[in-house]
A and B are shown apart, each in its own frame.
Chain A
């Protein structure tokens, strides 16, 4: 296992074909020769050297066959080799070549074009052949296109060019997109007799941008994007010329016109042998390090070497532009040695001051609590489509976060509330014959705040349909009060008190059921019944209730971490009940607040235990019954004391709320 992974093996007319995965850092593997080089390094076999295909240029050729090569921007094109080859016969390629090209998925065109493709696959050097006769003037320019220039590429499409596109041009205009695709006008056909062979290196980013902009990807552009070393250009040119002579009957070979730099800058990396050994668990010794690196083509020259400090200077071969620093060499050594031979040890982790965020702890507690209360945890997609937003009245509201590059309609928006997704889940479950659902989710919602996207952690709950069926009673539906009960339980467990329930305005809710939970003046969440208008659009026929709470708020206001014990009461309490007839619209909270006010410190607890409308009560009124518990910390209260107090409470209710005591 050295990193060159064979994904598949197939038989073809040309022999066995290996499909190999090439990682982006190893462009030197993008050729048969590159792979062969690697296999030789790993197995220790000898590699047949390349570069033995020099073909000498013929006698002095006429001026027509000399091309001036003008590189306008050396950074864009560091090297360009052009060569004139005369007298070719453009016919079909020999069968062996056709088969081999087919085995790597390339169609045969004609012998000249095939040779350029063959050399690309064999040596990894992209080449291009122009019909010399179709090139105008005697200079070849490697320059950026001018705004407004066009080219018809070999696929017949006219491409508009910008000043960011690197092109090969003759005196009248662009003849090829550098590194990407050739032009139709100058392509080699059966009538071509003389060709101009290009073998060059182009800047990877420029090739990539042009290829992307025009939606063109070729074997050529793929290799340029990953970087072609300067040395490769000459090898490719020579090899192609050798084929052209052998297969295409080339008569006269012009000299190389080689513009730009000829060799890449030699790169040296210092290797600290001790450190390398330590990093690899002391699995490799110095001898092995030298052996592996030498096999891969690295040159080692020993430098400073004391008993404790051994450093080598490693010269990187020209075809390994990916090796930049010591860790890159560490990887080479490790993979050749074999990762499996590196020993396994457990790390000893030192203590730090870093601790897990309390928000994580709270999330864990909330999840546990809600599952124990009977709710199933859901996880929904963070993105939603316009349709769903419309159904819940969220489309077009301010602060929605939009996705620039969605793959479908369903991925256009980031959800501003978890309620939509929960109701969708409820719908799916109802369709699959569930009678009732209890769901919760603890996840982010996304909104824009002052133009900046913001994620907020929310806890959302949903109850829908019927309670679990029970043989003691008829099937009952969930109520708004059930969900309020869950919320009250969760908040009580966080030791959050002093909550106020206020009316809210929620576009997806039944109006009179929409409530906001306030704590110390801030809104911590909402609760409502989902409106039948919304439900009918989702084909839901059962009642659904939903709530959403802000978790960061819960963390900030939870008093769980500041619990202190209160001693238990020493004296008994006295209980008195009171039943009142009130107008329907008087809120229970208001009555309780008044009772507490009038009852004073000796009133320990107030609870509603009955709610009644019907016979004996005027229409428009309701009856609420409260149980009050009075207690003093230092004595047992007497009946007189309690009666007096209770009388004051009743009086206050009559006077301030117009209540009738029953």
Chain B
């Protein structure tokens, strides 16, 4: 009996070795037929059982079965190794190489925020307009109810052009005046644009930045409408859970005036380092248009009322995207620009 068992063992080892070395599924298949097939080598052993003494048959039968198991398992494992490759053909064309680069550029984040804000107000019926950056005293101050030598001018420091006649606008409210002079009410406009204020440049201040102004004038416009419009804007821009609140303040061109806060984007109003623990972030000024402004443009303040608002685009963008330094907007590092 032992010689048979030895020969079985030798066959097993031989089979395993050949299976391991099978380089292709075709070769493996050949080996399977050779060892495990109906006329295969193991089958030969089984066929010879009749020549083995009765007493030895159980032991030999066992041994044959064990070898069959081992070899079969080895086949299956080797097979699995092959099935990762699609059965059949191999190609030289490597579909995993990168495509030929067709880089796409990006709109500047300030452009994107301006467009988002304009979209919200266009949806309400506002029309987008623009005005000049180089202005005169009349449009930047007088018509906005900010007379010369008035203390409120202190908060509106401006760049003057040589010659003293022209200045760079310090707020986009100038466009309100220009539009009201050009058109009769009703009027609903938003006006984005660059503004300039002499200021040292640091992480949160810039001498040049962007604002967007909104104005609605008609019969029967109320403070409620101002609240409604700005509430919709805040939810559209920052998310539908956003809340806003109005705090009494003072602007020469609106009365009543308010500063408008939005619930902190990061902590949802609970208080964190971004909002200085207040839970609220100031984002804009707003109010009902002052009758003196209407008088300056020839609108009848007894017939018409209106609301106006203005916000800094950089601030909105910094809050929305989590940008910590305003100077990044004007450095134009491509690694910054391509994030948006």
Q: Do A and B bind each other?
A: yes
Distance of A376 Cα from B335 Cα, bound (Å): 10
- In the bound complex, how far is the Cα of B188 from the Cα of A296, in angstroms? 35
Question: Inside 8 A of B207's CB, which chain A residues have their CB?
Answer: 381, 383, 407, 411
From 342 to 399 in chain A, residues with beta carbon under 8 angstroms from any chain B beta carbon are: 342-347, 349-352, 354-357, 359-360, 364, 367-368, 370-383
Enumerate chain A residues within 8 angstroms of B222, measured Cβ to Cβ. 278-281, 345
Q: Is B87 an interface residue (CB 8 A)?
A: no
Flag if B330 contacts A5 (CB, 8 Å): no
Task: Please tell me if B59 contacts chain A, counting CB pairs below 8 Å.
Answer: no
Q: Which residues of A contact B225 (CB under 8 A)?
A: 345-347
CB distance from B323 to the nearest CB of A (A): 14
> Quick check: A3 and B247 within 8 Å, CB to CB?
yes
Q: Does the CB pair A26–B208 fall under 8 Å?
A: no
**Inter-subunit contact A327/B216 (CB<8 Å):** no
CB distance from B58 to the nearest CB of A (A): 66
Whether, in the assembled complex, A537 has its beta carbon less than 8 Å from a beta carbon of chain B, the answer is no
Q: A339 near B: Cβ within 8 Å?
A: yes
Beyond A350-B218, A432-B333, is A372–B105 a contact (Cβ under 8 Å)?
A: yes
Nearest-neighbour CB distance to chain A for B120, whole angstroms, equals 12
B223→A342 contact, CB < 8 A: yes
> How many CB-defined contacts (below 8 Å) exist between A and B?
240
Stretch from A253-261, A433-441, A636-644 forming part of the interface with B: A433-441
B37 within 8 A of A: no
**A25 contacts chain B at the CB level, 8 A cutoff:** yes
- The segment out of B40-48, B93-101, B266-274 that lies at the interface is B93-101
Kindly report which residue of chain A lies nearest to residue B248, judged by CB atoms.
A3
Contact A438 to B105, CB < 8 A, known contacts A3-B247, A340-B245, A344-B228:
yes
Q: Pick the contact of B110 from A280, A357, A379, A432 — CB < 8 Å?
A: A379
A377 to chain B, nearest CB (A): 4
Contact with A along B159-179 (1 / 0, CB 8 A): 111111010100000000001
A227 to B331, CA, bound (A): 45
Task: Check A73 for interface membership: any CB of B closer than 8 A.
Answer: no
Contact B248 A453 (CB under 8 A): no
Which of A2, A208, A376 is the one whose CB lies under 8 Å from B248? Answer: A2
B105, A345: Cβ atoms closer than 8 Å: no
B111, B179, B255, B330: the one contacting A380 at CB < 8 Å is: B330
A453 to B169, CA, bound (A): 13
Q: By the criterion CB–CB under 8 Å, are B105 and A376 in contact? A: yes
Q: Is B238 an interface residue (CB 8 A)?
A: no
Q: Within 8 Å of chain B (Cβ to Cβ): is A37?
A: no
- A79 touches B (CB below 8 Å): no
Contact of A198 with B by CB under 8 A: no
Q: Which chain B residue shows the least CB distance to A382?
A: B208
Say yes or no: A347-B107 contact (C-beta < 8 A), given A340-B245, A402-B161, A406-B159.
no
- Whole-angstrom distance between the alpha carbons of A363 and B227 in the complex? 31
Q: Is the CB of B196 within 8 A of A382?
A: yes
A-side contacts of B332, CB under 8 Å: 376, 378-380, 425, 428-429, 439
Chain A residue at smallest Cβ distance from B335: A432
Among B161, B194, B255, B337, the residue within 8 A (CB) of A376 is B337
Could you tell me the distance between the alpha carbons of A197 and B105 in the complex, rounded to whole angstroms?
Answer: 72
Q: Does A401 contact B (CB under 8 A)?
A: yes
Query: Given that A1-B247, A404-B162 are known contacts, is A346 also in contact with B228, CB under 8 Å in the complex?
Result: yes
Question: How many Å lie between the Cα of A404 and that of B100 in the bound state?
Answer: 52
B228 and A339 within 8 A (CB): no
A345–B125 alpha-carbon span in the complex (Å): 15
Complex Cα gap A411–B157 (Å): 15
Residues of B within 8 A of A446 (CB): 134
Contact status A339-B97, CB under 8 Å: no
A634 nearest CB across to chain B (Å) = 42
CB within 8 A of A429: which of B163, B227, B232, B334?
B334
Asked whether A208 lies within 8 Å of B149 as measured between CB atoms, the reply is: yes
> In whole angstroms, what is the CA distance A521 to B124 when docked?
44
| Bound complex: CA A296 to CA B218 (Å) | 31
Residues of B within 8 A of A225 (CB): 151
Is the pair B105, A344 in contact by a Cβ cutoff of 8 Å? no
B231: chain A residues at CB < 8 Å are: 344
Question: Within the assembled complex, what's the spacing in Å between the Cα atoms of A2 and B247?
Answer: 7
Q: Is residue B189 within 8 Å, beta carbon to beta carbon, of the partner chain?
A: yes
In contact, A345 and B208 (Cβ under 8 angstroms):
no
Distance of A342 Cα from B228 Cα, bound (Å): 10
Q: Which of A23, A356, A437 contacts B128 (CB 8 A)?
A: A356
- Closest Cβ of chain B to A4, distance in Å, is 9
Report yes or no: A374 in contact with B223, Cβ–Cβ below 8 A.
no
Q: Does B130 contact A (CB under 8 A)?
A: yes
* B338 within 8 A of partner (CB): yes
Let me know if B20 is at the binding interface, CB within 8 A.
no
Distance A330 CA – B104 CA, assembled complex (angstroms): 53
A470 at the interface (CB under 8 A from B): yes
Contact A281-B224, Cβ < 8 Å, known A360-B130, A383-B208, A438-B103: yes
Please tell me if B132 contacts chain A, counting CB pairs below 8 Å.
yes
Contact (A325, B291) CB under 8 Å given A3-B249, A379-B110, A403-B161: yes
A472 at the interface (CB under 8 A from B): yes
Expressed in whole angstroms, the Cα–Cα distance for A342 and B227 within the complex equals 8
Q: Is B139 an interface residue (CB 8 A)?
A: no
Residues of B within 8 A of A368 (CB): 107
Supposing A26-B250, A352-B187 touch, asked if A342 and B330 sit within 8 A by C-beta, the answer is: no
At the interface, yes or no: B133 with Cβ under 8 Å from chain A? Answer: yes
CA A25 – CA B232 in complex, angstroms? 30
Q: Are B107 and A428 in contact (CB under 8 A)?
A: no
Q: Does B7 contact A (CB under 8 A)?
A: no
Q: Could you jot down 15 A-B contacts, CB within 8 Å?
A: A1-B245, A5-B247, A208-B149, A209-B149, A278-B220, A340-B245, A344-B228, A345-B224, A352-B127, A359-B130, A378-B108, A407-B199, A428-B333, A455-B132, A469-B101
Having A342-B227, A345-B222, one finds 9 other A-B pairs with CB under 8 Å, namely A24-B250, A343-B224, A349-B188, A356-B127, A376-B337, A377-B108, A407-B207, A444-B133, A444-B194
Sort A-B residue pairs by CB-CB distance and give the 10 closest, nearest first: A281-B224, A349-B125, A3-B248, A23-B250, A331-B256, A347-B225, A371-B105, A468-B101, A335-B248, A378-B332
